[in-house]
Each structure stands twice: as structure tokens, then as C-alpha cells.
Chains A and B, each alone.
Chain A
Amino acid sequence: MSEAAANQASESYLSRGWRLRDWLFTTDHKRVAWLYTVSITAFFFLGGLAALVIRLELITPEGDVVSADAYNQLFTIHGVVMVWFFLIPSIPNTLGNFLLPLMVGAKDLAFPKLNIISWYIYTIGGVFTIAAVITSGVDTGWTFYTPYSTQYADRAVVAALTGVFVVGFSSILTGINFIVTTHKMRAPGLTWFRLPLFVWANYATSLVMVLATPVLSATLILLILERMLGIGIFDPALGGDPILFQHLFWFYSHPAVYIMILPGMGVVSELITCFSRKTVFGYHGMAISILAITVFGFLVWGHHMFVSGQSLYAGLMFSFFTFLVALPSAIKTFNWTATLYKGKLIFSAVMIYALSFVGLFTIGGFTGIFLASLAVDVHVHDTYFVVAHFHYIMVGGMVTAYLGGLHFWWPKMTGRMYPEIWAKVAALALFIGFNLTFFPQYLMGYAGMPRRYQTYPEDFQILHVMSSLGAGVLAIGYLLPLVYLLWSLRWGKRAPPNPWRAAGLEWRTDSPPPKHNFLEPQTVTGPPYDYDTIDNK
């Protein structure tokens, strides 16, 4: 960089290097974040497309749009793609990748090469699975229960499992990177209890990724070997126990649901404080809750198996711990609400996203409590009640938080502002469409509508039709941001370094930031979310 250029303005990480290999071989965490953003957006729309066909099929009680097998493959693709290729990497690998080093005042992640490798692993694993699934089909559901998956389901089960297995490594690498960065690369003065909650959330998420993902890998190895080499570990004919698979699977997959919500909680804490112009209510409580969720999250996996025939006492313990794990979430919900108290609230699009999150997550969480209540779960297990529960948390909660965060940091990431009006329209459309889609599913679930059903008794039709209508609204709601965010890349207003007057180190540098994030080393002297000082300057 020449003297003159350095004096004018920093050169942003986007301004130079637009050949293909400048992107594909980059080690800059900000560019890797973009690579991830592009990949997960593609996977999201693919998973969404599958959801739309599912909803189309369910408009009528008969199986008239696709064949029975095709339907089963659709919800399998939908679940696998949405969970492993979209939601797990969503916030950590896009916003987290971009912001974590900025927020701790570092020049990059601790292992930039691992970071780009992790993207390759993820994308190759994902594309491989999709190719396998589309060419020959997998119909096990995202849970791969044995013995169906090992002995009865034909087609590309091994390929799909391999893909998921490979993608697991990308989670692990990201986790290692985040943990080490948070531990070792914080700016001077940035003590643990001065970290933004977004960093806390991603740190905790990484812990789960690192500790739980390998167990999934082990399980998948056993499953793959069982199918390929004909060894029998879960096969009842050999004295194996199919339920053991469920234990191993949920030992990963329950903690994984916290991978899918903690980052969202982190994002929402940032958004709500900024648009309330106030520090978060109970900062310590918020940070400790995050850790508590992480730890307790490892003790509750058996709540997916209340009717599978585990011992009554196991069921009892798992139910008990499930109630406990909901407590920190309760603290967080109440603290977000209390943060508004005596704030100066600005209802921007970002704030609407954040508040939708709080409402929808609460409903999803409540119904989680229903499911944790043993006797109730016996009735609603494997019905649409469960489907509604997790969509409320994963779509209503996490996807909403992701979109909110994307809007909030869009100016930082791109240097452009998005059109506020359209963003508000999309946020409202999503809120309404979402409730229309998934609230009826609670009702039909308690009424006895089982999940993974292509055909169903006529009585449920009216609720299914409502749900399908809602999915249509959702589709529009998700296409809108795609369009106007892309539009803003070219025609959006230029963004100043700190358009929201937000706290946090990432706002102290240019939009978009220079290659090494900050022109001079940062130091931190106070607590996070110090909006009083900012506003009274």
C-alpha cells in the first residue's frame, strides 16, 4: 500500500482481488464468511424448495403430487439439508466467522487455513450428499433410525451418511478455531466478562461442536460399516440393540439443537441492546445461562426416546434434566424483555426481527416443556406437535435471528445500507407467514396427526391447507430479502463505519473493514453495551 493511499482511507478487504482464486484460496476470515454465506443460502433455498413440495403434497389428504417414496425422500432431504447444511453452520460460519475476530479485536482467526479448509470440507460434503440424494434418493428421515436405515432402506444411505460425516469435520474445525481465538486472541483489556454476548454464544456453540460432533462421527462410522461391510452392531438379529443407535444419535443431536439456537440468542442480545440504546439486563446472568445451557444440554438426550422403551427411570431422569435445561432459557427470555425497560426503543426492521425471535422462541420453548412432560410426550411424540415445536425454535427463532443479524451487520459486511422499508415488509411477512404455517401444526398434532405422513385422514385437511398457505407467504418472505439485499450491493446507500451508533469493537473500524480488520491495535477499557456513553457523547 502506498503512503498516500494509507493516509486517505484504509483499503477494504473487498476492494482488491477479484479473480476467482483470490476468493477460493483466501484465508481472510471475512471472505471465508462470504463463501459460507453463498453456500448456506443455496442450501437454504434447496431445503425450502423441498419444504414447498411437501406442503404442496399435504394440501390434499391423498398422495397425489408425488409418490410415497418421493415424499419420504423429500422430508429426508429437507431435514438433512436444513439441519446439517444450513442451520448448524448458519450463524457461526457466516456472521460468526466475519465478526468473531472483529469483536475480540484480532486480525483474523487463530487458524485461517483451517478456516478455508473447513469451507471446502463443508461444501464438498454437502454437494456430494445432495448429488447422491438427488440421483438415487435416501428415505430414512434425518434421524437415520436403525434397523430401517441399515437393513431395509435401499439406495444411497451410505453416500448421505458419508456426506454428513464429512461435514462434521467442518464443524469441528470451526469449533477449534473459535475456541482458540476466543481464548488467545482477545484485545488487551477485553476480559471474559467484557465479551459481547455474541462471542459468548459462539464460544459455547463451539464447545458443543467440538465435544458432540465426534460422537456423531463415531455413530455414523458404525452405521456406514454396518451397511457396507455387513457387520452388525445395531442389528437385533445379531443380538444388537437398535435403541443403542438412538442413544448415540441423540447424544449428539440434542446438544446439536443448542448449536442451532445459542448463536441466535447471541445475535438477538446484540440487536436488542443496540435498538434499546441500553446495556443488556443482567449481563452476567446472560453469559452464565449460555454456559449452563451448554452443560445441561449434554444430559437430556433421552427425551427423544420416551416411548422407545428405555427404562422408566431413565425416562424420568431425562425428563427432569430437560426441565432444568429450560431454566436458563427462561432467564434469557425475561432478560431480553427487561432490557427494553427504560430504553429508547427504535423499531427498525432489525428490531422487528429481534422481537419476533423472542416471541416465537418463547412459544417454541414452551411447547418444548410440553414435550418434556412425560405423559404428554407419549401422546404427541412423532406427531405434528413436535414438528411445530422445532420449527418454532429453529425457523421462528434461529432463522429469524440469522436474518436479523444479517441485516444488522450488512452495512459492516458490504459497506452498503439495505432499503429499510422493504426490510420491514419482509420481517412482518415472515412473522405472519410463519405463524400461519406452523401454529395449525400444533393443533393437528394434539389432535393426533402423525408426522412423516404423506396421506392423512380428511379431518385434518383444513389445518393442512392453512399451513400450506402460510408456507407460500413464507416463500415470498424469504425471497424478498434475497432480492433487496442483492439489490443493495449495487444501489444501496454507502454505509458509514457505525450506522447504528452501536457499541462493540467491530463498529470501530471502517465499513467494510480493511484486510487486517483494524488499522491500529484496539484496547478495551469498559464493559460491553455502553450505550450511555455513546449516546451522551
Chain B
Amino acid sequence: MTTTPSTTSKAAPDEQFDDLTQQRQADLMGMWIFLATELMLFGGIFTAFTVYRFAYPEVFAEAATHLDLKLGTFNTALLVTSSLFMALAERAVNAGQRRKTLAFLFVTIGIGVVFLGIKGYEWHHEYTEKLMPILGLAFEYPGAHPDRAEMFFNFYYVLTGLHAVHMSLGLVTLSVMVVFTWRWRDPSRLGRQIQINGLYWAFVDVVWVFIFTTQYLLRA
């Protein structure tokens, strides 16, 4: 790598890097690789799910009808919208617009919270319907073959739960970004950070689309 000073900004790179371009590329690449690991993580669970989906197709299809398709669809729409706002926030920060960045970040976080709220409501609903086969709770499944259906719900909770954990982490880092944007110390650095957060947020979104498809939509 050359040591010619970067032209994009006067700010200095971290000490291990020669220049800011190098640092930006390194950061992005790091995030991409991290997302690859996340993909493998969810991939492992989806694989297990697929195996059983093929083993008990009818039971799983029927069990899926006990999920709330309307809320699920609404949540999907929400999440896609939030990704849009996240992208807007990235553009705003690169254009040096502090207020807009803040606003877009707030909207993103807001939508994220609503998403989790709805998800929580769904879980609660399933809990009252006694469709939560965990922690020894009563599981009273109205359809045929409750034991196989239990397996479906197991996957449903594992997948949506793990997704919710990822969402929450994303919300935490986005909140940190809000604080940074508020202070507006080093805009070019902030731009990199928000871009990386955006990648993560988009990933969480994509995972949700997979969850939505496999859990809610595969009903027949």
C-alpha cells in the first residue's frame, strides 16, 4: 500500500493503517466477512428446519397456519421500510447533513422497536393459545399430530428469537450511532460507521425475509 495521504479527508487513519482508503476498505471487508459468518449461523438452523420440513410436510404446513400471517406480513413491510430509511441515513451522513441523518436514524430505530413490539405481541398471543412448547409450558395443539407440530414451533421460536436478538443488537449499535451523530466529531469516520451499521441492518432484514417465507408462507 502506498503512503500518499488520502485526499478525501484530513482526518488521520487508525495507527495500524497507512491511509483512510485502506482503513475504509478493511472495515467494509471485515463487516462482509462477519455477515458471511452470520449467514452460516442461520444457515445451520435453516438446514435443520429444511430436513424436518421434508420429513413431515403436511404437519408443518398445517402448523404454519397457526401463525398470524397478517402481522407477519405487516412486520415484513415494516422492516423493509426501515432498511430504506437506513439507506437514506447513509446518504445523509455522507452528504454531511447532520440533522437529516439524525432524523433518519430515529425513524429506523423507531420502526425497529415497533417491529419487536409486534413480534412480542405475536409471541404473547401464541402463549395464550398454548402454542409455546418450551420451559414445560402446556402445549395444546388443536390440529393433528401435536408432537410433530411441536417441532415446528420449536424452530419458529428459535429462528424468530435469534432474529430478535440480532435486531436488538442492531438497535443498540444504531443508538450509539445516534449519539455519535449528535456529537458530530469526525464525520468521515461516522460515515464509515453508519455504512457498516447499514450493512448489518440490511442483513437482519434479509434474514427476516427468509424466516417469513419458511415459517409463515409455506402453508401448503
Contacts and interface: CB of A to CB of B under 8 A. Distances in A.
> Which of B1, B17, B25, B155 has the largest count of A CB atoms less than 10 A from its CB?
B1
A180 B37 contact: no
A176 B40 CA distance: 14
Interface string A185-221: 1111000000000000000000000111111011101
B57 to A, nearest CB: 13
A516 B38 CA distance: 33
Given A108-B16, A213-B37, A229-B134, A221 B48 contact: no
Interface in A223-263: 225, 229-233, 237-241, 244, 248, 251
A179 interface: yes
Contact of A248 (B18, B33, B48): B48
B40 A211 contact: yes
B129 interface: no
Contacts of A219: 44
B95 interface: no
Interface in B1-40: 1-3, 15-18, 22, 25-26, 29-30, 33-34, 36-40
B148 to A, nearest CB: 5
Interface in A89-140: 101, 106-112
A221 B45 contact: yes
Contacts of A188: 1-2
A109 B15 CA distance: 10
B48 A244 contact: yes
Contacts of A232: 150-151, 154
A218 B37 contact: no
A110 B133 contact: no
Interface in A163-194: 172, 175-177, 179-180, 183-188
Given A108-B16, A110-B30, A180-B30, A211 B151 contact: no
Contacts of B134: 225, 229-231
B44 A108 contact: no
Interface string B129-142: 00001111000000
25 contacts: A110-B26, A111-B30, A176-B37, A179-B33, A185-B1, A185-B26, A186-B1, A210-B36, A211-B40, A217-B44, A218-B43, A222-B45, A225-B134, A225-B154, A225-B158, A230-B136, A231-B133, A231-B134, A231-B150, A233-B151, A239-B148, A240-B52, A241-B55, A248-B44, A516-B15
Given A184-B26, A248-B47, 7 more contacts: A108-B16, A180-B30, A186-B1, A214-B44, A231-B150, A233-B155, A238-B151
Interface of A: 101, 106-112, 172, 175-177, 179-180, 183-188, 210-215, 217-219, 221-222, 225, 229-233, 237-241, 244, 248, 251, 516, 521
